[in-house]
Amino acid sequence: MKNGNIRKRLGFALAGWRLAYAQERSLRTHVLFAIAALIALVVMQPPAIWWALVAVVSGLVIATELMNTALERLTDHLHPAIHPSIKAVKDIAAAAVLVASCAALVVAVFLFVEFLRGN
């Protein structure tokens, strides 16, 4: 499976996406914000660099949320009982999502300020 053809590997990735999207409210929220950012870009029509920056931070937020979800699933499977070390792992992974989300928010604020200034 590891070295399967590209179609199989893409299929695994898409199956993971569908599963996470169906079961994780936080992921759906982040996707909603990414769509809102895309709509804002269409309305504002900023230079291409802003499109790239928004795409990168949006992808970063969604990727960290997916990693957080995978890590939570794995830790819950391996150690279903509440344990301080497992809680710490989950909290740290959630903090990674928070950091990525804050970075995206900073980009959004600067984009909005730039739009208001008319540049």
**The predicted structure's pLDDT at residue 18:** 98
**The predicted structure's pLDDT at residue 12:** 94
**The predicted structure's pLDDT at residue 82:** 87
Please check whether the domain covering 26-117 is classified as CATH 3.30.540.10. no
Which is the catalytic residue, given 24, 65, 72, 114? 65
Domain definitions of the chain by residue range: 26-117
**The predicted structure's pLDDT at residue 34:** 97
**The predicted structure's pLDDT at residue 118:** 83
Specify whether 65 is catalytic: yes
Three-state SS annotation for 42-97 = HHHCCCHHHHHHHHHHHHHHHHHHHHHHHHHHHHHHHCCCCCHHHHHHHHHHHHHH
Q: Show the low-confidence residues of the chain (pLDDT under 70).
A: 1-2, 119
